A and B are shown apart, each in its own frame.
Chain A
Amino acid sequence: MLRRRKPEKKPEQETPPPALASVSVPASTTRPARWSCVDTCCWLIGWICVSWWVLLFLYHAAPASLTQQVTEAVTEAITGPMPDPPGSRLRKEGVTARHPVVFVPGIVTGGLELWEGRPCAEGLFRKRLWGGTFGEVYKRPSCWMEHMSLDNETGLDPPGIRVRPVSGLVAADYFAAGYFVWAVLIANLARIGYEEKTMYMASYDWRISFQNTEARDQTLSRIKSNIELMVATNGGKKAVVIPHSMGVLYFLHFMKWVEAPSPMGGGGGSDWCARHIKAVMNIGGPFLGVPKAVAGLFSAEAKDVAVARAIAPGVLDSDLFGLQTLLHIMHLSRTWDSTMSMIPKGGDIIWGGLDWSPEEGYDCNDKSKTDNVPHASEDFQARVDNFHLNKVNYGRIISFGKDIAETASSNIERIDFRDAVKGNNFAHLNASCHDIWTEYHEMGWGGIKAVADYKSYTASDFLDLLHFVAPKMMQRGDAQFSYGIADDLDDPKYKHYKYWSNPLETKLPNAPDMEIYALYGVGIPTERAYVYKLAQPAECYIPFQIDTSAKGGNENSCLKSGVYTVDGDETVPVLSAGFMCAKGWRGKTRFNPSGIKTFIREYDHAPPANFLEGRGTQSGAHVDIMGNFALIEDILRVAAGATGEDLGGDRVYSNIFTWSEKINLQL
């Protein structure tokens, strides 16, 4: 608008200058003296604007290919030759689109838009509240919070507010501007011939529980209908499904739903999956949950979940706003049922007890071995020492104090908290605390003390802990999700939808030709267990905090700032991502009665070499792996018709098989 106006006005103003120019010749030398400050200011702005426009104009006027070439040349000069994107390479090899592809995005990556809101959200109709620029978070934060949170009784929209998932590929191609999620994969698929009719983004409202997406939006029905349509219009070629992160659980739920009979399920018949799905390629799948969800639900302190990073970079850590922001986030995320789908499943059998854990003996400094080969021998000695020093008790997901985390279990005196009286409501009259619903203000000092006195929590204890500190939330959670291990899978109770997203309580569909892949990154320290402390009492606060002062003995220790890390993709530990495909479903087991083939493909993390590479083409991080060329190539080949054997079967860098061996699960 502004730019367009300028040329129109110019001729009108061209008239004064001739006269002016002749008179003001020498005057310009003394301009500063007589031009007022405002004038100078205007002059400066004008100067900047004009030069900016000229540059912009030149940039746009130059043929597009030229600017492209220049930027490419510059990048190449700095980083060396760029690798060909896998799409172009495979196309030259003759790989073309064959099977229709379905994407299932994970938590937080899908866009949400407003369809109906309170007066404060005027003008935001069909604008993104989640995803995109997040501009509204800054402009009207409380309004935004109000619209993003759900009703804490029903787990559905509060009355008068309708926030709905964006549909189509745009829903999750980019999370925020420039931060790709699926875009790179989509672009590469397009290179071998995919387009809108053969690609489908199964976007859903990731805040609500899986069954509620069907109840409210009929999302599961839509996915079913779309897959059926794509299979029908592509000559009966079955679909390749690519879920990411929580989408993995969502798609497990979908597979059970679609074959279940009509009132609760989709009524597709017991061979629906066999007829419509060629392969499920799970990327970074938290099959068995993520420990990060523990910290997230317990104290809102999952330090690096995308939520916190995207919404409030830096603000979270600042002392000034720290308390308030965290409380708000807790309020928000506790109304989201979906976060409860990520609570670690399988209890002590999978995640380890007080004294053992499957990952026992993992050396956190493993990476340095490969990095610094010359020092290997010295390093080795150090690591041997470490091994005895730091036998990490990963099984204790939460310990109160570093000592508790490290000492032998016989030394821990636990006082059961389950029957503890919660004590007086210590924040009973504080209105501001009541606004923020975290349930902690209903707990009282007695309750907090009881929690801390139990000292150490394993995966099974943790569920009880959550029931204790957040009973309302877990009431909703129990209706939608389950975290146990089934003794008898034929028990009719497992027909209920709350078991459908737990791989340890469901059977895979009867589809022997289907393939299941677990694709995930390794080589990044990933949160696995936490050291907690009681927070300083304040007027209205979260009573538990990660004890960031807890550090391991030396720099090679797995304990850093109160968090024990293990191998993984920064969010999902290897155990959760790989166990089902490595052991739980491998061959014919009771969880996989028809013997669906499973494959594990790991991608070793290599950080981008420099800033220009952006998020790297060999990353193994949870979201950045979507731009990993090796992973994209695998997906493209499967989509074009290859099988797991064609790809080369398993590709393993971590100790997933040894760790799986240690898990004593009846199969």
Chain B
Amino acid sequence: MPLLLRLRKLLFSQPSLHYTPTITHINEHQQHHKSLTTTKKNNNNKKKKLSWRSCIDCYCWFVGYLCTTWWLLLLLYTALPSALPVLESPGHRLKHEGLHAHHPVVLVPGIVTGALELWEGRPCAHGLFRQRLWGGSFSEILKRPLCWLEHMSLDNETGMDPPGIRVRPIPGLVAADYFTPGYFVWAVLIENLARIGYEDKNLHMATYDWRLSFHNTEVRDQSLSILKSRIELMVRTNGDRKVVVVPHSMGVLYFLHFMKWVEAPAPFGSGGGPDWCAKHIKAIINIGPAFLGVPKAVTSVFSAETKDVAFARAVFPGLLNSNLLGFQTLPHILRIARTWDSMISLLPKGGETIWGNIDWSPEGVYHCDLAKRKLIAPLFDDKAFSSNRSDGRIGFRIEETTNYGRMISFSSPSAKLSTCGSKEHVKSTQTIPMKSSACRETWTKFNDMNEDQIRSVAENKVYTARTVHDLLRFVAPKLMQRANAHFSYGIADDLDDPKYSHYKYWSNPLETKLPDAPEMEIYCYYGVGIPTERSYVYKLSQSSKCNNIPFQIDSSVDGNERDCLRGGVYFVDGDESVPSISAGFMCAKGWRGKTRFNPSGLPTYVREYWHRPPSNLLGGRGKESGAHVDILGNAAIIEDIMRVAAGANADEIGGDQILSDIMKISEHIKLHL
């Protein structure tokens, strides 16, 4: 590339070399001779015109030059035989080992990765029938942003489509193989599975509208019924071999919901009988599971500031951070995100028992430096992280606990603070909506709050995983009202209580029992070694313009170098989106052995994968990545999935593979089992 640039510069300068003064002089002379009658004024005019034209000419020449070189290179590139050494894919290797497709495989995509297309829309969406609104190139966002927003958001009362708009998930593997062109989600796994003989008949993508609450996907699209029917069909047509289910991210919760739904009796459930799962499912391989929710979901609902969720990155690269458009974009995102019920399914579950309270958290003594060191030590001579090592303080640890339990705090971490009783402001003064019309266009709920209320939120200083729900109920009452009808975040005291047969508990592993299927295996596969958001320091935002969100992550707060606090966010070990406590706890402790959540004693396995960033730009997203989505391209994880799909059991792939402190952390959690 630099060579190309230099070459271009060289060539570009050449034409200007020709314009030597002598030549121009001669030229001028000639012109004078030829047109003696022309006045000076005219000449001036002409000069201006000519300079303008020559500038255009040069520009055109330059563009043409660029294009031609580009095309030539492209031509050369395509003409070259693709003899570049390609790393042997796991599928290739395992095929040589003699592995064959055995169990049918069901893939369950997570939030935002599934594509959505338009089936019926407002006049502004003319010509988009059956075109992707979500996924693909996202070109409509740039072309008609408001129209797009209108079609992507749901009705904020019912959580369903607004009248006259039908946006539906795309069925089939195409729905989530690539999120945008070139950004794979499931494609690598699918390709490897195909090598050992999988194809459409024994590989199914369980797509669903990830914006809806899980129960509503059945009510509106019958997605759960379709999934049930497909699994039954695949088991029947593949010689009664049970399926291996591979859910990812939120798909994990969706499949938990499915397992309860399929065995529940008819009005709410499908009436598949109590042994449906035992008869149809061999194993569930949860990838990057968000069993207990993610802290990131809190901020995305609270202030739309999830800095690195996949969708924000893909949709608005850079745009979010720009000051110019920032305060326009964020409220819009907040508005549509708040109409999506599924966001609420990702709120942290289990309250303070799991996530810690003001003074305590299970991760208590986690060292961010330590995580890094562990990550890089076996791999490189940590050149990339030499700055951390060079200060010589790496060996020197301070046993200082981080207050991860304080999920949202409105102060600097050092300040001593009072605990909160957040209930009090819920009941406070009646809402006085601001009457600005511009404000009402963007529905963010904050418009319904007045200054005092906003201040009272901030005065409460600290919110834990339990009180954060009260906070959200206060700032987004409609959202939480819908949420409470579809999801629950508690811990069951008595799982046999008849109230737990309601569907809103089905996606919470702490309020449901696993199905009675002693032979079924549950795997938790997730990446570790990436700092992952765990709790936040907030501040009130300065400007009080109407469209502004009154709360902001206080990005000026930084801890010292050893500290896990950076840019107002406390980090912990995880896969960039899901902290390992959420991904691993259920498999490591909650369901391990016979517990009240796992009465039939399903075997569970934890397999962790260290994150190793791609060594160079050519590595793309890496074959050893542990990041939340990129892990689907991780060669080790793909191999493990394929072995299980080809009939191996957990012992054959090596049982647990624990690299983080998940066991220790789980020990800290005092949950009655």
Interface residues of B in 591-610 (CB under 8 A from A): none
A18-59 vs B, CB cutoff 8 Å, 1 = contact: the mask equals 011111111111110011000101111111111000000000
Count residues of chain A with CB under 8 A from any CB of chain B. Answer: 69
Q: Which residues of A contact B169 (CB under 8 A)?
A: 196
- Check B126 against A20 for contact (C-beta < 8 Å): no
- Separation of A168 and B191 alpha carbons in the complex (Å): 19
Q: Which residues of B contact A47 (CB under 8 A)?
A: 60, 64
- Check B60 against A43 for contact (C-beta < 8 Å): yes
Smallest Cβ-Cβ distance to B220: which chain A residue: A197
Smallest Cβ-Cβ distance to A13: which chain B residue: B62
- Check A42 against B173 for contact (C-beta < 8 Å): no
B120, B221, B237: most-surrounded residue (chain A CB, <10 A): B237
- Check B225 against A232 for contact (C-beta < 8 Å): yes
Contact of B233 among A2, A125, A222 (CB under 8 A): A222
- Separation of A48 and B225 alpha carbons in the complex (Å): 55
- Check B126 against A64 for contact (C-beta < 8 Å): yes
Shortest Cβ distance from A271 into chain B, in angstroms? 20
Contact of B66 among A9, A41, A187, A217 (CB under 8 A): A9
Interface residues of A in 123-173 (CB under 8 A from B): 123, 125-126, 162, 164-165, 167-170, 173
Contact of B19 among A27, A116, A122 (CB under 8 A): A27
Q: Does A397 contact B (CB under 8 A)?
A: no
Contact of A195 among B168, B191, B230 (CB under 8 A): B168
- Check B12 against A64 for contact (C-beta < 8 Å): no
Q: Which residues of B contact A29 (CB under 8 A)?
A: 27, 50
Q: Which residues of B contact A45 (CB under 8 A)?
A: 63-64, 67-68
Interface residues of A in 510-565 (CB under 8 A from B): none
Smallest Cβ-Cβ distance to B129: which chain A residue: A187
- Check A168 against B172 for contact (C-beta < 8 Å): yes
Contact of B16 among A5, A24, A169, A197 (CB under 8 A): A24
Smallest Cβ-Cβ distance to A125: which chain B residue: B191
Q: Does A263 contact B (CB under 8 A)?
A: no
Interface residues of B in 123-179 (CB under 8 A from A): 123-124, 126-127, 129-130, 143-144, 166, 168-174, 177
Q: Does B316 contact A (CB under 8 A)?
A: no
- Separation of A13 and B61 alpha carbons in the complex (Å): 12
- Check B27 against A27 for contact (C-beta < 8 Å): yes
- Check B54 against A25 for contact (C-beta < 8 Å): yes
Given contacts A46-B62, A196-B168, are A186 and B130 in contact (CB under 8 A)? yes
- Separation of A46 and B191 alpha carbons in the complex (Å): 40
Interface residues of B in 31-66 (CB under 8 A from A): 31, 47, 50-51, 53-55, 57-66
Smallest Cβ-Cβ distance to B24: which chain A residue: A26
- Check A221 against B124 for contact (C-beta < 8 Å): no
Smallest Cβ-Cβ distance to B14: which chain A residue: A39
Contact of B67 among A26, A46, A229 (CB under 8 A): A46
Interface-located stretch among B195-203, B304-312, B318-326, B381-389: B195-203
Given contacts A27-B18, A35-B15, are A115 and B199 in contact (CB under 8 A)? yes
- Separation of A208 and B233 alpha carbons in the complex (Å): 22
Contact of A23 among B21, B200, B233 (CB under 8 A): B21
Q: Does A218 contact B (CB under 8 A)?
A: yes
Contact of B24 among A23, A50, A116 (CB under 8 A): A23
Shortest Cβ distance from B141 into chain A, in angstroms? 13
- Check B54 against A39 for contact (C-beta < 8 Å): no
Given contacts A65-B126, A195-B168, are A42 and B64 in contact (CB under 8 A)? yes
- Check B63 against A167 for contact (C-beta < 8 Å): no
Q: Does B268 contact A (CB under 8 A)?
A: no
- Separation of A162 and B200 alpha carbons in the complex (Å): 11
Contact of B70 among A2, A169, A197 (CB under 8 A): A2
- Check A6 against B63 for contact (C-beta < 8 Å): yes
- Check A16 against B13 for contact (C-beta < 8 Å): yes
- Check B50 against A68 for contact (C-beta < 8 Å): no
- Check A26 against B130 for contact (C-beta < 8 Å): no
Contact of A25 among B12, B50, B233 (CB under 8 A): B50
- Separation of A99 and B190 alpha carbons in the complex (Å): 34
Q: Does A11 contact B (CB under 8 A)?
A: no
Q: Which residues of A contact B194 (CB under 8 A)?
A: 115-116, 125-126
Q: Does A314 contact B (CB under 8 A)?
A: no
Interface size class, chain B: 35 or more
Q: Which residues of B contact A191 (CB under 8 A)?
A: 120
A interface, by DSSP: helix, strand, loop or mixed? helix
Q: Which residues of A contact B229 (CB under 8 A)?
A: 225-226, 228-229
Contact of B236 among A20, A31, A221 (CB under 8 A): A221
Q: Which residues of A contact B18 (CB under 8 A)?
A: 27, 34
- Check B70 against A13 for contact (C-beta < 8 Å): no
Q: Does B226 contact A (CB under 8 A)?
A: yes
- Separation of A167 and B170 alpha carbons in the complex (Å): 12
- Separation of A44 and B65 alpha carbons in the complex (Å): 10
- Separation of A162 and B54 alpha carbons in the complex (Å): 59
Q: Which residues of B contact A24 (CB under 8 A)?
A: 16, 19, 24, 51, 54
- Separation of A164 and B24 alpha carbons in the complex (Å): 69
- Check B143 against A60 for contact (C-beta < 8 Å): yes
- Separation of A226 and B226 alpha carbons in the complex (Å): 8
Shortest Cβ distance from A383 into chain B, in angstroms? 47
Shortest Cβ distance from A206 into chain B, in angstroms? 15
Interface residues of A in 183-201 (CB under 8 A from B): 186-187, 190-191, 195-197
Q: Which residues of A contact B19 (CB under 8 A)?
A: 20, 23-24, 27
Smallest Cβ-Cβ distance to B191: which chain A residue: A125
- Check B174 against A170 for contact (C-beta < 8 Å): yes
Q: Does A368 contact B (CB under 8 A)?
A: no
Q: Which residues of A contact B656 (CB under 8 A)?
A: none
Q: Does B459 contact A (CB under 8 A)?
A: no
- Check A167 against B172 for contact (C-beta < 8 Å): yes
Q: Which residues of B contact A20 (CB under 8 A)?
A: 16, 19, 54-55, 58
Q: Does A17 contact B (CB under 8 A)?
A: yes
Q: Does A492 contact B (CB under 8 A)?
A: no
Q: Does A655 contact B (CB under 8 A)?
A: no
Q: Does A81 contact B (CB under 8 A)?
A: no
Q: Does B263 contact A (CB under 8 A)?
A: no
Q: Does A63 contact B (CB under 8 A)?
A: yes
Q: Does A424 contact B (CB under 8 A)?
A: no
Interface residues of B in 572-593 (CB under 8 A from A): none
- Check A123 against B82 for contact (C-beta < 8 Å): yes
Contact of A28 among B57, B59, B197 (CB under 8 A): B57
Q: Does A233 contact B (CB under 8 A)?
A: yes
Shortest Cβ distance from A182 into chain B, in angstroms? 11
Shortest Cβ distance from A272 into chain B, in angstroms? 16
- Check B200 against A167 for contact (C-beta < 8 Å): yes
Q: Which residues of B contact A226 (CB under 8 A)?
A: 229
- Check B12 against A13 for contact (C-beta < 8 Å): yes
Shortest Cβ distance from B421 into chain A, in angstroms? 47
Q: Does B519 contact A (CB under 8 A)?
A: no
- Separation of A228 and B66 alpha carbons in the complex (Å): 59
- Separation of A340 and B127 alpha carbons in the complex (Å): 40
Binding site for B on A (CB under 8 A): 2, 5-6, 9, 13, 16-17, 19-31, 34-35, 39, 41-50, 60, 63-65, 68, 115-116, 122-123, 125-126, 162, 164-165, 167-170, 173, 186-187, 190-191, 195-197, 217-218, 221-222, 225-226, 228-229, 232-233
18 CB < 8 A contacts A-B: A16-B16, A19-B16, A20-B55, A22-B51, A23-B21, A42-B65, A45-B63, A46-B62, A46-B65, A47-B64, A64-B143, A64-B144, A168-B172, A190-B129, A195-B166, A197-B221, A228-B229, A229-B222
Binding site for A on B (CB under 8 A): 12-13, 15-16, 18-19, 21, 23-24, 27-28, 31, 47, 50-51, 53-55, 57-68, 70, 82, 119-120, 123-124, 126-127, 129-130, 143-144, 166, 168-174, 177, 190-191, 194-195, 197, 199-201, 221-222, 225-226, 229-230, 232-233, 236-237
Q: Identify the 10 closest CB pairs spanning chains A and B, nearest first.
A: A46-B64, A45-B64, A46-B63, A46-B60, A42-B64, A28-B54, A218-B237, A43-B61, A233-B222, A47-B60
Known A26-B50, A28-B54; further 14 A-B contacts with Cβ < 8 A: A2-B70, A16-B16, A21-B55, A24-B51, A25-B24, A31-B54, A42-B65, A43-B60, A49-B63, A122-B82, A164-B200, A169-B130, A217-B200, A218-B201
